[in-house]
Each structure stands twice: as C-alpha cells, then as structure tokens.
Structure 1
Amino acid sequence: MIMQGRYEFLAQDRIVYGVPAAEAVKEAAVQMDARRVFLVTSKTLSRKTDVIDRIRLALGERYCGLFDECVAHVPRESVLRAAAAVRSADPDLIVTVGGGTPVDTVKVLLLCLAQDVTSEDGLDEYRIRVLEDGSRSIPSVGKPPIRQIVVPTTLSGAEFSNLGGCSDPVRQVKDLYTGREIGAQIVILDPQVTVYTPEWLWLSTGIRAVDHAVETVCSRKPQPFTDATCLHGLKMLSESLRHTKRQPDDLDARLQSQLGVWLASTGLGRVEWGASHGIGHQLGAVADVPHGYTSCVLLHNVLRYNRPANGDRQAMISQALGKPDEEAADLIEGLVRGLGMPARLQDVGVKREHFLAIANGGMQNMMVRSNPRTISGPQDIIEILEQAM
C-alpha cells in the first residue's frame, strides 16, 4: 500500500509581515478596491490603545464603521449582534484586529451573511456535527458577500484557518463552523500592535500555537508537508517565546513567534487533531477557561495519555525541541512552567463538578473523536481530566 492523503490549501491570498498594520491595511484596501471598510476588534484595543485609530486614519473615507463588543468564547448572541452591525453598515470589506475572539466572531458572522442566519437557532443548521460512529457531518456553506483581512494581536492562529468556534450557552458546548471563504483573505503580521497584548495572553496563546504544531505532527493522519512546517514552527516558538518572556519589548522576537504560528497552523482545520484541542473547547464553554490556558493545562497530559498510540511521533517533537532523549510531554510541561503559565486544571479554576459537563460536551467534538488513542466515552475524558487536575 502506498501513502494516500489529501491537503486543502486555504482561500488565502497572502501573508504580509513586518509592515506597520495601518500601512498594510490601507494598501490592501486600495488593491482590493474596497470603498467601505468595517473594523471588528475588542473593546481594549479600540478604547485603550491607538491601534484602531491609526488604521481608521489610514483608511480615511474608506472607513465605514466599527464593532468592538466581541465576547470571549464567541457566544451565539454576540455573533448575531456583530452580524447586524455589519448588515447595517453595508461594507465591502471587514478588517479584523485582535485575537481568536474577534477573528472567530467574524468567521461565524460571515457564515450568517452567506446563509442569511438571523437567529441563534438558525446557527444549529450549520454547526459541524459528530455522528455516533465518530464521523463528521459538515454542512455546505455558500460564499459570503464580503471577506475579512486579519491583523492578529495574539498567537492563537485563528487567522490561518477557515474553522470558527462559537459557543451555545444553552447546551454548554463550543460548536465548530466552517466555510471555504470565511477565513482571512489576507493576514498582516505586525509585531508592533502586539505590545499591548497582556503577557499572560501572549504567552498562553503561544502555547496554543505549540499545541497546533504538536497535535498536527502527532495526528493519526499526519501529512509530510505539515510535518516539515510544524516541526520548524515548533522550534521557532520554543525559542522566541522564551526570549519574549525575558525581553517583552523585542519586536524581532515577537515577529519570530508570529511567523512560528504561521508554520504551526498549517494543519489547522486540515489535519485531524486530538483531545487537547477537543477537550479544550469544552473547558472554555463550561468553565470559562481562556483557550490559551486550555492548551497549557491539557497538552502535556493528552500527550501522556496518547503515548501508547503515537510514541514514534512524539519522539519527533522531542527532537524538534532539542532534547531527543526526553519525553515530549515532559518538555512541553517544562516549557509551560518556564513561561510562568498554569499547568494544572486546578490552576485555571476547573473543578471536579465541571468534569461531567466537559466530558459530555467533549464527546460531541470532532477533535476528541479523532484523537490518536481512541476515546470511546465520557469516562475516557474524565481519566484525562483527573490526570490533569
């Protein structure tokens, strides 16, 4: 049997790096002949920094509106409010500035525009579902009327996928949505706009990016292309995150982390991931854990759980981190602790009374069901949670 596989490239035109964000946004708007540009961001960036003002000034008469009330874990209601604001402004381009929360908000609102979704119940029809046999049901989503370009300020990697997370507070589940053109058409990596990002958020989302690389390499269906990109990205992240911890104002180190995220995210939504991401989604939905922290507390524990199934792949992680004779899980945990990040569930407010809701929600998550070591039921998830406590 010869190797078989399939890799889907994103509907993404280009990555611009090292150029000031305002300058790069204006250049992109001119090239795309965008006459009405709408900005989506966070309250902090909009109201406590000059990042958005500089972009707005650069756009001049092309600027047509702003939504800055994105909510962590992207609850359905917040997406619909953002979609209503976009419909009212009638833009021909969205510029999203921030981390995973605003980026995912725009991904799901673009789906709403494409499919004319105007209610929380209407989103049910388009969420990715996991069937009883573990296979996925992925609804068809049309082309949205506009696209987004993204200026990321964290290391979550949301700008490098067309997969968006959105929480249903009623079911306490973070659902996943996808569409060919809901992701970023252009990504602008400017380290200067990241200096306002709190240290805990920068470093924890850096571990999130490490998680992207590790679960791609350790996938039950790995790809040679993503092995190459993710292993190098992992090395870049490991070195640059440590450097940024020591010297937060080093813009070159910040850019190296951003470039590492680019490489580490080549499997995002295109290579099957595992339980670190899958259970992590539910930590956010049930216990309000920021998604960078979910990787800090879960990845090394999931690696230990999975070692009987993919020890050879985990050895590649150890090699990339420069210590081939040590266990990948120990190296990842050492990196987390060395950056001053929480490494246990109890450190991020998760309690045992949360376990059942996390486990039940996890069994609805496609990444849990594609974990390299089979997870057959909620009890397997609880075993990982106990280990991580």
Structure 2
Amino acid sequence: MQRALRHIGSIFFIYSYQMAAKGESYRLAFSPNPKPYISTGLPFHKACAHHISNTFQASKIYLIVSGSISKTEDFSLLQSEIGNKIAGIRYGIKPHTPWTDVLEIVNDINEKGADLIITLGAGSLTDGAKVITFALANKAFTLDELAKLAADVKTPNLLPCEIPVINIPTSLSGGEYSPFGGATDMRTHRKSSFAHASMGADLVILDPALSVSTPERIWLSSGMRAVDHCVEGLCSLSPSVGEARDRTYKEGLKLLVPNLLITKKDWGNLDARLNEMMGVVEAMKGVKLGVPMGASHGIGHQLGPLGVGHGETSCVMLPSVLKWNYLNGNQDVKNAQKRVVDVFWGEETVATMLSGRGLKRDTADAGDLVGALVSELGLPRSLKEVGVGRDKLDILAENSMKDRCLPTNPIPLKEKSQVLEILGMAIGSEN
C-alpha cells in the first residue's frame, strides 16, 4: 500500500501527511518529486520510531551507523526505540565508500531479509545506502556484478531500488537528497558514479541537536560542500538553467554562509544549524533542476580516493577553480561569478568578515570570497594541507579527466594541462 502510493503525487502527499507525528513537521523536500520526505521538530530517535511503524510498517531494520556515533548515547537511544525490530547492524563504511564495504553489507542484508535500512551518520554511509539498495535490486553480489551498475557502463534495463531508506544525517554534505552516489573501486582507486531515479532516501530526519556531536572540521567542511553546490550551480553556463536555478542557489547561500560563520563562533546555536540544514535542501533543489556542476566537483571526486575528506575537497578546490575560470573566462563567466559576489556582500555577517580580511567589493572576485570564507572557518585551503603533494598531481589530473563534471565546467576542461594548471594553483606554498 505504501509503495503503491509513493508514485501518484498529491494522493501520496495527503496520505503521508497523515503519517506525521504530533509536533513534527513532515513534508516533501522537492514537490512534486515523490521522495524524499523531510522530518523536523522531533528528536531523531522518536521520529524514526514513529515512521518505522506508521509510514513503512517495517519489522526487520538494518542499521548502518558511523563508528564514532556507535559509541555515543545517541545510538543507544535509537537502539532502545527500535528494540527487537533490529535485524542487523553495520558499524561504519570506510571513507569514499569502497566497493568491498558495499558488497559486505549487500550480502549481509540479503541474508537477513531486512525490509528497511536506516543510516545514522553521513558521507560514505549515505552514498553507501544508495549503492547498496541498487545492488540488492539488481542482484549484484560480487565486484564484477557491481561494476556493471556503474553509470558510465550504461547497462540497460536496470531494476529500481525496492528497500526503503531513512537517512539521519550528521553533516551537511547533502547526499541524502540526490538520486546518485559515488563508490570507489579500490583495485583502481577510481571513484565511480551510480545513478538511478529510484536511488536515495525515502525519509530524511533532521535533528540539529544531534549534529552538535559532529566534529567541527567535518560539520563545517561538509557545509562548504553545500556551498560548493550553490556556487558552481550559480556559475554554470548551461543553457538549461534559469531563474529557478538562481532563486534556489542564492537562497541556499543566504542560509549557509552566514550561519556557518555563526556556528564557528557559537557551536551550540541550534537555530543556525537548522538554517544550514535548510540551506542544504535549497542547494540540492538546484541539483534536482539538472544544473551541472564544474571542475571543483569533478576534481574533488577524484581527490577522495587520495584520502581527502568529502567536504575538504571543496575547501581546497573551489577557490582555485573559481580563480582559474575568472582569469581564463570571457565576460559570461565573469558575469556568472558576479551572482556569487552579490550574495556574499549582500549578507551583513558575511560582508563584515570579508572586510575584516581586507577584501573590497569592487576588486575581489568569487574565488577571493570563497577562499576568505574557508580561512575564516579554519578549514584547509591547499592540497598540501590535506596531504596531497606534487607527486600526486599527474594521476589526479588523469583521473579527473574521466569525471563527468569537467566538460560542464564554465570553461570546459578538455586538456590534462588545464587541470594541472588548476592543481598548481591549489597546491599551496611548499616552503
């Protein structure tokens, strides 16, 4: 009954609205898309228990929890709420979602017969759940079978995901809102994309109080990942973008950037955290519009397998990509970047920070502004700071050339030498 109603628009919305708990806000993230729904207003464990019983009517729950959260009282609360419905628990997925980790969980879920997956954490767990449900639907239990599901292989007639997913994110990376995920084949150290309209969470439970336990560097850098979505979205020159793109990405930046600065200074400010979470929704709404990303995303995808954290790839690459595009681009490229400049200077908290760092509105470009934000948040600005030296640049450029986002950069990157120029700007001082 639930799954049949999922795809018939307003009827499902009315039915799902009746599934909201008392005191809960429960709505579609991207109407009229049939999923995901967003839950706010309740402690995460109470919202989760309610929807297990009332929305999904599930009885065999498979939990995927980050290693750090598994040691906290928060995880104990969730376990207590679910009780004997827990069919299995996976403690962590390694960074950048190795295929081997994915397949271990696929085989475990298949054996246990789980009817609902819940992730408590972020990053690799979120991407992992998407690839896991896709692999289960298509009976991919080995590396070779999983390889056939990668987006660039273009295997025809792949089956849609069947097992529903609840994501309880503890970062701002936003992967819970997209129908595609990345996972790394450790045999080649290349990160591949997996994509299908059925992939992704059915329900996202947002609880700002839960996020206070997230390490500062992870929270703030994942926020920069969401900023990256907005910035590269606003800078896109794709003919498919328009006013709807501008509205959602500008709103995303207005929610994200000033509130990240507030969180840096006032860690326990829950209002700022909820605003950041809503900024992520706006950022991903732009992704849903089909706005292509650029070289910060493309190079960042391949930085991951070199050991760079998901959000930190944006901290390191976005300022240099913006600067390279500005220096090498035509007036259209510069005009697109002005959208970002106007939003940054239009927010009082942000403008004060930029002025304090010696920047002026009539001379600073988007790369300068984003770089100042990264520095103000105390995050890494260079490849050197994240452990990537010049000896890695050639293979990084080579792998990046295969990424889907390089051709959609405002200046399409068609030559390896172009990528190496950007990487040279991002490497940082070696003195």
Give the alignment's TM-score, normalised by structure 2.
Answer: 0.83
Counterpart for residue 17 of structure 2: none
Residues in 2 aligned to 1:82 and 1:111: alpha-carbon distance in whole angstroms: 12
Measure how far apart 1:225 and its partner are.
2.0
Aligned partner of 1:57: which letter?
S
Counterpart for residue 344 of structure 1: 382
Counterpart for residue 416 of structure 2: 378
Cα deviations across residues 191-249 of structure 1 (Å, max 9, x unaligned)?
11111110000011111110011111112322432321111111111111111100111
Partners of 1:306 and 1:372 within 8 A in 2: yes
Counterpart for residue 134 of structure 1: none
Q: Which runs of 5+ in 1 are unaligned?
A: 1-6, 131-136
Cα deviations across residues 243-275 of structure 1 (Å, max 9, x unaligned)?
110011111111111111111122336321111
Q: Secondary structure at the match of 2:87?
A: strand
Residues in 1 aligned to 2:215 and 2:137: alpha-carbon distance in whole angstroms: 34
Counterpart for residue 28 of structure 1: 51
Counterpart for residue 208 of structure 2: 191
Cα deviations across residues 54-99 of structure 1 (Å, max 9, x unaligned)?
1121123332221113110111101001111211221111111111
Change (3 A) 1:353 1:153: same
Change (3 A) 1:382 1:120: same
Q: Secondary structure at the match of 1:40?
A: strand
Cα deviations across residues 131-187 of structure 1 (Å, max 9, x unaligned)?
xxxxxx586531223121111000101111011000112222111101122201111
Residue 69 of structure 1 is aligned with which of 87, 92, 107?
Answer: 92
Counterpart for residue 133 of structure 1: none
Counterpart for residue 211 of structure 1: 228
Change (3 A) 1:374 1:349: same
Q: Say yes or no: does 1:91 pair with 2:111.
A: no
Q: Say yes or no: does 1:272 pair with 2:328.
A: no
Counterpart for residue 250 of structure 1: 269
Q: Secondary structure at the match of 2:406?
A: helix
Counterpart for residue 236 of structure 1: 255
Change (3 A) 1:271 1:193: same
Measure how far apart 1:9 and its partner are.
6.6
Q: Secondary structure at the match of 2:182?
A: strand
Counterpart for residue 55 of structure 1: 78
Cα deviations across residues 259-309 of structure 1 (Å, max 9, x unaligned)?
111111223363211110110011111x21111111001001111122215
1:155-174 correspondence runs (5 A): 155-174=172-191
Counterpart for residue 335 of structure 1: 373
Residue 64 of structure 2 is aligned with which of 28, 35, 40?
Answer: 40
Larger radius of gyration: 2
Q: Which moved more, 1:238-247 or 1:216-225?
A: 216-225
Residues in 2 aligned to 1:183 and 1:223: alpha-carbon distance in whole angstroms: 26
Q: How many percent identity over aligned positions? A: 35
Residues in 2 aligned to 1:374 and 1:33: alpha-carbon distance in whole angstroms: 48
Residue 151 of structure 1 is aligned with which of 164, 168, 172?
Answer: 168
Measure how far apart 1:343 and its partner are.
0.7
Residues in 2 aligned to 1:338 and 1:138: alpha-carbon distance in whole angstroms: 45
Cα deviations across residues 297-336 of structure 1 (Å, max 9, x unaligned)?
1001111122215211111111111256431111110100
Change (3 A) 1:11 1:85: farther
Residues in 1 aligned to 2:342 and 2:297: alpha-carbon distance in whole angstroms: 22
Give the alignment's TM-score, normalised by structure 1.
Answer: 0.92
Residues in 1 aligned to 2:389 and 2:301: alpha-carbon distance in whole angstroms: 16
Residue 108 of structure 1 is aligned with which of 125, 131, 141?
Answer: 131
Q: Say yes or no: does 1:281 pair with 2:301.
A: yes
Residues in 2 aligned to 1:39 and 1:312: alpha-carbon distance in whole angstroms: 47
Q: Which runs of 5+ in 2 are unaligned?
A: 1-29, 347-360
Q: Say yes or no: does 1:142 pair with 2:166.
A: no
Aligned partner of 2:307: which letter?
D
Aligned partner of 2:303: which letter?
L
Aligned partner of 2:121: which letter?
G
Residues in 2 aligned to 1:159 and 1:353: alpha-carbon distance in whole angstroms: 34
Partners of 1:75 and 1:167 within 8 A in 2: yes
Change (3 A) 1:239 1:18: farther
Residues in 2 aligned to 1:122 and 1:62: alpha-carbon distance in whole angstroms: 30
Q: Secondary structure at the match of 1:33?
A: coil
Partners of 2:117 and 2:163 within 8 A in 1: yes
Q: Which moved more, 1:14-23 or 1:215-224?
A: 215-224
Residue 120 of structure 1 is aligned with which of 140, 143, 162?
Answer: 143
Q: Say yes or no: does 1:177 pair with 2:201.
A: no
Number of aligned residue pairs: 375
Residues in 2 aligned to 1:247 and 1:172: alpha-carbon distance in whole angstroms: 38
Q: Which moved more, 1:327-336 or 1:35-44?
A: 35-44
Residue 18 of structure 1 is aligned with which of 41, 46, 66?
Answer: 41
Change (3 A) 1:9 1:322: farther
Q: Secondary structure at the match of 1:220?
A: coil
Aligned partner of 2:56: which letter?
M
Aligned partner of 2:269: which letter?
D
Aligned partner of 2:90: which letter?
F
Partners of 2:319 and 2:368 within 8 A in 1: yes
Partners of 1:293 and 1:342 within 8 A in 2: yes
Partners of 1:11 and 1:181 within 8 A in 2: no
